[in-house]
Structure 1
């Protein structure tokens, strides 16, 4: 497994492929909500199994936080530790950029995954793209 920061258009397209597969095709998120204006300025992280993209996420700095977004893994690789590796790479990027905290909005079914990685829930449940989410933070 290789986890990289996307530096080429092809690598960014690989991230979009994973996101569209998971969020649009699998979860039914409207495509116009999945790819947004923040994609142009975000740092994109891609996980590869050999040369095949299998995981993705993006990182932005918002209000002094490192904002972790769009984290997803293809169903074929969900029990392989890819999500954890993506999150560790996001932490690396945050530290490189001098960010003291990470923040994310987790789908409620993934809340336990993020808690296991040291995130704390700081909000009540809310809907995003029609799905229940909670906001979580982690001090670095």
Structure 2
């Protein structure tokens, strides 16, 4: 999979499409919570397999952290380690921009995935869009 920073409106729309399919259609997150007022302040990532978008995420800079958000892989693309590639690409972009630490809100079922990538739980469980999450961080 080729992970890229979305630099064109088409790439950004591809990222939104992947996010909508995963979060709104599959996980039933309300559409107005998924695409929000922070989109213009975010760096968007999209992953392509043979020109088909299959992964997406966004990154913002918050309180000294590169905050990784909306990390998702389409169902048909799962099990191929594309999630690893997406997070690594985000970490590399964050480092290029001078960031030394990353933070994300992981769905509790995804915590083992992020732990394998070096992230540590730093919060109690909380609900976001009706889904249990915990905050995780990592030194870059």
Q: Over residues 4-60 of structure 1, what are the superposed CA-to-partner deviations in whole Å (9 max), with x where a residue is unaligned? A: 000000000000000000000000000000001111121101010111000000011
Corresponding position of 1:63: 63
SS in 2 for 1:29: coil
Q: Over residues 101-133 of structure 1, what are the superposed CA-to-partner deviations in whole Å (9 max), with x where a residue is unaligned? A: 000000000000000000000001110000000
TM-score, normalised to structure 1, is 0.99
Structure 1: gaps (5+ residues): none
TM-score, normalised to structure 2, is 0.99
Corresponding position of 2:107: 107
SS in 1 for 2:4: strand
Matches within 5 A, 1:63-102: 63-102=63-102
Q: Measure the CA separation in 2 of the matches of 1:59 and 1:85.
A: 15
How big is the shift at 1:78?
1.0
Write out the 4+ residue segments of structure 1 that deviate beyond 4 Å after TM superposition.
Answer: none
Structure 2: gaps (5+ residues): none
> Number of residues paired by the alignment?
140
